[in-house]
Structures are given as structure tokens and as C-alpha cells.
Structure 1
Amino acid sequence: MSEPSPQRIGPHPAPRPAIPVYEQQEQLGDLWAAVPEPARRRYRPRRAFWRHRAVRAGAVITLLALSGLVILALVRDQTGTQGFLVGLGLAVLPVPLLMAAFRWLDRVDPGPWRNLLFSFAWGACAAALVAIIANSFATHWIATATADPAGAESLGATVIAPVVEESAKAAAVLLVFLFRRRDFTGLVDGVVFAGFTASGFAFTENILYLGTAFGEDQSLNGSGFASITAATFFVRIVMSPFAHPLFTVLTGIGFGLAAMANRRQKIRRYACPLLGLALAMGMHALWNGSSSLFGPYGFYAVYAVFMVPVFALLTWLAIWSRQRELRTVSAQLPAYAAAGWLTPAAPHALSSMRARTMARDFAARAYGSKAARSVGEYEAFATSLAFLRDRAHRGAVGPDFVEREQELLHHLWQRKDIAGPALTYAARATGRVRVPPPYIDYDGYNPYRQY
């Protein structure tokens, strides 16, 4: 069954590919039946040796492990063992909240945890190591060249540190953008990857600052927790836990806009990440130099007048982007439902996070956790299919579109008997579509009822 003529969206929309006929699943039934683990079947294009997953994973793990050992030794050397332990205990407090917030944004099309853990580890280990070494070297060089240690510290914090730190954090977003392109599809992905990277960087930096403050308190009066530690904790953990994520999210938005561009928009694909990185550096420089630029109360002025409104604006943008993803699901999946791949009510349920949760709960009550997991997989595959088709319409997919679409349709077909009734129930229960109760025949048989 073919799809209606494409609508004109944007200046140069690409023609929408035709929807595969649902009867295709019967023709490919023998091929699909030969796969013992449907959930593990993936389309994998040929790659060069150096791009093989095991080679890249080994190199990345080794690099991050070495960076982590070096940064651990450097921080412990500067703070001492007691200061390191105190800083670690205090710095870890905002990490779960930040990770939960960014993961919540990614609920519509959640990516694999390995990408997020890589981003966090890169920020905490590799980026932090580069920042400590480069900032120390630059500050020492400026102090030697100008014979003004105080001016060198101020210049290093205002000019050198923002450039070095934001570049080091942006490297993680760039690596995910280049090597995990299938998981990097838009603004939300850019915000999430940047947020996890910056959260890791802030975690290591907070250990250093809090551990150093604790050591200063001990050297002054030997009482442990006192004014310096409390003040540092209040400024870095209570008032501004979002500072580093806020800076780097601008870089992530730039990469997200580049991911949404089609292959002909080369200027946008290169300019947006560079512009986002420049804005991140500028905001970071303003934050670090607030006291020296605007006096003793400059920090609070910049915080209230600039940081809080920008944080609110970016939060609104991230939530709006998430809602836009749900609208994409609602717009792209009805064509597959009309072709028979999805039940008629499935697109309505899949475009609501509440309906998705109800569908999983319904399957869990009827058939148990395995059925709920199957419905969750169905929702993830259907969402990926909607995004894939949306990118195809914008001309932002590669030549493997047909194989990837067929792979996703295969997974939907395998789970349709379980997920179809659950999604139909959820769509009906949430009032998104008026349909009869799912799969109940005239004898009253219901496949989800426990007889």
C-alpha cells in the first residue's frame, strides 16, 4: 500500500519513500524465522578494521581508564586523602539528580546507556584531565611571561579555562556524533549527551574544589567543616549544580541542529556546532569572570540576571523538543498503520508518554514482566521507525534506509500480537481514540485475561 503524495515541509523536502506492503512479512517469514533472537538482530553495514566495535570499545575503555587513574592521582595530590574523600562524598550528591533529569528528557526515544556512560566518563576523566593540565600550564606560562601571578590567575580563569574546558567537553559530543550517528538524531540527543558529559566534568571539578576547601579549613582551625567548605558547597552544589551542563548544552544544541540537517546543508552541519561551542565558551567566560568584571557582587548579578533566565529558556527548549518528538511519532506512524504494520490505535498511544506507560502496565498485569518488556521494545522500535522516516523525508538518511526500515518493521511484526492489544487499550483508556475493547470476540474471549 503506497502513501499519499508528500506534503511540502521546509524549503527542499525530499520525497517520502513508499511504505512496504504488510504482506512482505509473509514473504520474508522464512528469513525472519531463522533468527533465534529477534531482539538482537541488527543491520550492520561493513566497516573497516579500525571502526570495528571491539577495537573502538577497547581503545576508548583503555583511554578513559588511564585518564581516570591520572586524574585520581592529581586530585588526591592536591587535596590530600581526607580532602579527597570529603570532596567525593559531597560532589556525588547532585549527580543522580542531573542524570535523572537528562534521562527524563530522553524518554521518548531513549538511547543505549553505553553512550551516556561514555559521555559521563569522558567528562569526569578525559576532559577533566585535559583541563587541569592545560589550565595549569597556561596560567604558569602567563605568570612567568608577565610577572603578575594574580593577573595570570584572573586571565586564566576568564579566558583560558572556558576555551580549554568547553573544547574538551565538546570532544565527547563530537565522538558520539561521528561514531554513534544512529543514536544522535536531534536536539534532545544533543542536550542529553552534552548534559551527561558536563555532569561528569563538574563531578570531578567539585571533588577538587571541595577537597581543597576542606584542606584550607583544617589548616586554619583544625575543625574540619567550616566556613570555606560550607561556602564552596553552597555555591557549587546548591546554587549552581547546572552551571557546567548549562554551558555545554549550548554545544549539544549546535550538534543537534547539525544532526537534523540534510546532506545538502553542509554549511549548517559545520556552522551550528561551532556556533554552539562559541556560545558555550562565552557564557563560561562570563560566569568565571563575573566577580572581576562586575565587582564583588558580580557573581550574584550574573547569576540572577543572566544564568537563571538562560537556564529557564534552555529548559523550555529541551521540553519543547521532546514534545516535538512526540508530534513526529504522531505524524509519521499512521502511514504504517494504514499499511497494516501497526494497529490503528497504536500511533495515538505511541504519541503519549502516559499511554505508553499504561500499555506496559497493562501487559505486565496480564502476562507479566516479559510481556511488559516486549511492549517497551515495541514502543522503542516504533519510535525509531518514525524518526527514521522523518529524517528520510528531510533527506538526512544514508543509503541504508531500506535495510534499517526493514529491520525495524521486523521487530514490530514479531511483537505485534502482544503490543497491539496493550497499545489499543492504552489509547482507549486515555481517550486519545475511541475504539472497542482490544481483541475481544463475540464469545467474550480476551487474550489478556488470565483464565
Structure 2
Amino acid sequence: MHEPPPYQQPQHPLPPTFGHYKPRRALWDTLWDNKAVRVGGLVLLLALCGLIILALVREQTGTEGFLVGLGLAVLPVPLLIAAFRWMDRVEPKPWRNLAFAFAWGSCAATLVSLLANGYATKWLLTTVDVAQGADASTWGATFVAPVVEESGKAAAVLLLYLFRRRDFNGIVDGVVIAGITATGFAFTENILYLGNAFASDQSFGYSGLRSTTAATFFVRVLMSPFAHPLFTSMTGLGFGIAAALPQRRRVLRVLIPVLALLTAMLLHGVWNGSASLPGAGFLVVYALFMVPVFGVLTWLTIWSRQNELRTLRAHLPAYQAAGWLTPPEPLALSSMRARGIARDLARRTGGPAAARTVAEYISFATSLAFLRHRAYRGTPAPDFTAREQELLHHLWHRKSVAQPALAQATAAVPVPFAAGAPIPPTGVPVRGWGAPVPPGAGPGYGPAGQYR
């Protein structure tokens, strides 16, 4: 074989005005790059899963049982969502992320779990002795269901971690996404359990407080509405820790979410297995194991939320020193009470539109602090500069309304903050600022394309 001759520059290259070569792209690649197509396909998939799960649940419970189960299962949902939204008040996640998580849990994860658990239970019943049929059901609930269900719910957390990385910064984000996903899963599962219980009561003529429906409602809705959110929050905790690790810790960024998922499966298995314990075994597991774990997770989430406020207090002074923020703003933005007062002041003086402007200003400033914090801890976003410029642009156009309200809120709520505290070095300069922005100057690009 002869080697090809070396490449030589042509003596008469084509003129610069000649059209550039555009390689043909596969139809799938073209569609995948279209955001509307991706979103539409995801919505269609979740809607199809919802219709299938609706048909399956209605087939098992009957129309009347389905309606009763739906009415009872929806009761804890607003309270759980409100609790997770409260945890996420420092940097609220976009509603589209939360809606996706809830829809995935209530439709996709439930459908996969219902089908997989059904096949696994049938397999166990056909491979064990008939006299041990009850043991087969217990084994399925203890060892099969936790693996299937927690894997299905973890898929939502993984997808948002991979494709909405900008909104995934730490422990609180992971716990909130996982909790919302598990809330949706528990909602659909409760419809099935409560609907079956009601159908059973109708068949045997039971009613009142002694009915199976009342007992199921007490155990699943009143006594343990946090069960599924607690299990899946362990998975979210692992992804949150991984999100905070530097890029160079690749092994830990994979290992920690896997260990967290195994922990969620273990907790789920212990919970399901305790239902088959004799006597008061279930109550003992509930009081001595599940409640303390729930308390520790709640404390950790609240501590992480306070740590997020400290992040704002540490990194926003860099932008104040450069002239983008006024001195009171790092104080006000690091206090939830001051934030609320600023929104109320804006609403009283400028109406709902002004309050919305202040809320947007707070959101953009919070995102700016977290963006800089990621650079400080060694995990800068690949689009750090462009994202920083975008956030500063939004702040500049809202500062005339937001800054006076935040200044008044700081005066009303003293915030413990060490004046003149050192600004953490991030290794990434505040873009385009050799000096504070002069009064009256607007946002724009300075020399060398820097945003000022």
C-alpha cells in the first residue's frame, strides 16, 4: 500500500467570500438540538405514562374506589410541597423543574414500579412453595420493591442533575428535588392502596373507623406521609454532596450518589419489612429508627439552608466592592426576613409589579453568589463569564426599584455581619471592573470585550 502524499496548501485558495461547507446532519441530531422537540417529547412521554397508570389503577380499584382514593391521597400533597418549597426559599428552583420531578414520580416512576413489582411478585409466587406464598409477598415488598421504586425515583434526580446543572448547587437542591419526586410517587401509590381498601370494604360491608380504608388512611396519610420523601431524600442528599465536590473528585462524584441510593433502598426495605413484624414491631421501628432519621435529615437540610445564606454574605461583597451592589445589599440578601420586608415595601409603594421586580432582583443576586461560590470551591461553571454578565445585566435593569427597598429592609432588620470582612479569593476576577461603575453609567462592554 502506498501512503497518501502529504497535504500541501493550494497555490490559489478560494476567496474568503466563498460559502462554507456545511456537513449534512442526521435527522435525529437535528431534532435533538431543537429544545421544543425535546420538551414536547418529554411531556408526551410523561402524559402517556400518566394515562397508562390511570387505567391500571382504575382497573384495580374500580371507578368509585379510584375517586375515593384520589380524594384522600391528595390531602398531604400540598403540605409536603409547601414544606419542600420552604426549604428552598433561599434560591427557589424553577417551577418547571419541580413540575417535572412531581410528574416523573407520579407517572413514570410509579408505572415502572407497578409493572416491575408485579412481575417480580409473580415470579416469586411461582418459584416458592404454595404454603410459603405469604413469605413470597413479604420478600417482594422487602427486597424487590425498594430496589425498583428507589431506582425509578432516583432517575428524576439524575436527569435534573445532568441536564439542569445550573440549578443544582448543593444538599438543599438535591433533597428538594428528591422530596418532590417522592411526593408524586406516594400520591399515586396512595390512590392505589386507598382505592383497593375502599373496594375491599364495599365487598365485605365494612364502614366507619373500623374499616380498612380508615386504617390505611391513618397509616399512610396521617402517620407516615414523609416515608417516601425520606427514603428518596437520601438519594438527593448524595447528588447534592456530589454537586458541591470539585471536578477533580470524579470517583467520589460517582460513588457518593450510588452509596446514597443504596441507603435509600435500605431504609425503604427496613420500613416495608417492619410491616410484617409481630406485635408492636412496626411501631418500634417507626419510633426508634424512622423518626430519628427524619429528624437528622430535617436538621441537616435546615443547616444547609443557613449555609446558603452565609454563602451570599461571603461572596456578594465582591460585587459591592466593584460598585454593582450598594453596601446594605449583602446584608439584606443574606436575611430571609429582610428579603420579605423588601418585597412588602415594594408592594406598598409600587404595587405587585414592583414586588415582583424585587423578587427577581433577589433571585438573580442569589444565583450570582452561588455562581461565584462554585468558582471558589473549584467547580466553576463552563459558561461562568457569560452567566455572570447575564445576571449582572438583569440586576442593573432592576436596581432602581430593588436597591431602595433592600436598603430600607436592612435598616429595619439588623443582620449580624462583620463589616469589612475579607472577601474570599475566587481566582476569577469580577469581570471588567478596575474601579466602581461611575454614577449614571449603564451596563455594557468595556475594553477587550469585558462587561462593565
Aligned to 2:152: 168
Question: Is the 8 Å Cα contact of residues 120 and 197 (structure 1) preserved in structure 2?
Answer: yes
Greater mean deviation of Cα atoms: 355-364 or 144-153: 144-153
Distance in 1, Cα, partners of 2:221 & 2:33: 39
Alignment map for 1:348-363 (pairs within 5 Å): 348-363=331-346
Question: Is the 8 Å Cα contact of residues 214 and 224 (structure 1) preserved in structure 2?
Answer: no
Aligned to 1:273: 257
- What are structure 2's unaligned runs of at least 5 residues? 1-28, 418-452
SS for the counterpart of 1:263 is: coil
Deviation at 1:226, TM superposition (A): 4.6
Q: 1:407 to 1:218 in 2, by over 3 A?
A: same
Of residues 192, 200, 205 in structure 2, which corresponds to 1:221? Answer: 205
1:264 has 2:219 as partner: no
Distance in 2, Cα, partners of 1:235 & 1:171: 27
Greater mean deviation of Cα atoms: 389-398 or 235-244: 389-398
Which residue identity lines up with residue 53 of structure 1 in the other structure?
Answer: K
Deviation at 1:145, TM superposition (A): 1.4
Give the number of equivalent residue pairs: 387
Greater mean deviation of Cα atoms: 88-97 or 56-65: 56-65
Greater mean deviation of Cα atoms: 303-312 or 425-434: 425-434
Aligned to 1:64: 46
Aligned to 1:344: 327
Query: What does the per-residue CA deviation read over 1:301-331, in whole Å, with 9 as the maximum and x for residues that have no partner?
Result: 1000001011111011111111000000000
Of residues 249, 255, 266 in structure 1, which corresponds to 2:233? Answer: 249
Aligned to 1:388: 371
Query: What does the per-residue CA deviation read over 1:52-92, in whole Å, with 9 as the maximum and x for residues that have no partner?
Result: 42122111111110100000011011111111000000000
Of residues 208, 214, 222 in structure 2, which corresponds to 1:238? Answer: 222
Which residue identity lines up with residue 345 of structure 2 in the other structure?
Answer: F
Of residues 180, 183, 201 in structure 1, which corresponds to 2:185? Answer: 201
Aligned to 1:319: 302
The structure whose RCO (Cα within 8 Å, separation 6+) is larger is 1
Q: 1:139 to 1:375 in 2, by over 3 A?
A: same
Aligned to 1:400: 383
SS for the counterpart of 2:397 is: helix
Aligned to 1:378: 361
Distance in 1, Cα, partners of 2:31 & 2:242: 27
Distance in 1, Cα, partners of 2:128 & 2:35: 48
Aligned to 1:120: 102
Query: What does the per-residue CA deviation read over 1:160-213, in whole Å, with 9 as the maximum and x for residues that have no partner?
Result: 000000000000000111111111111111011000000000000000000111
Distance in 2, Cα, partners of 1:298 & 1:242: 19
Distance in 2, Cα, partners of 1:52 & 1:93: 38
List 4+ stretches of structure 1 deviating above 6 A.
none
Question: Is the 8 Å Cα contact of residues 70 and 129 (structure 1) preserved in structure 2?
Answer: yes
Distance in 2, Cα, partners of 1:420 & 1:186: 28
Distance in 2, Cα, partners of 1:52 & 1:302: 50
Query: What does the per-residue CA deviation read over 1:335-382, in whole Å, with 9 as the maximum and x for residues that have no partner?
Result: 100110001100000000000011111111112111111111100000
Which residue identity lines up with residue 109 of structure 1 in the other structure?
Answer: E
Question: Is the 8 Å Cα contact of residues 214 and 225 (structure 1) preserved in structure 2?
Answer: no
SS for the counterpart of 1:432 is: coil
Deviation at 1:50, TM superposition (A): 1.4
Alignment map for 1:96-175 (pairs within 5 Å): 96-147=78-129, 148-175=132-159
Q: 1:218 to 1:225 in 2, by over 3 A?
A: farther
Question: Is the 8 Å Cα contact of residues 427 and 433 (structure 1) preserved in structure 2?
Answer: no
Identity %: 65
- What are structure 1's unaligned runs of at least 5 residues? 1-46, 435-451
Greater mean deviation of Cα atoms: 361-370 or 94-103: 361-370
SS for the counterpart of 2:48 is: helix
Question: Is the 8 Å Cα contact of residues 140 and 152 (structure 1) preserved in structure 2?
Answer: no
Distance in 1, Cα, partners of 2:322 & 2:74: 50
SS for the counterpart of 1:102 is: helix
Distance in 2, Cα, partners of 1:165 & 1:338: 50
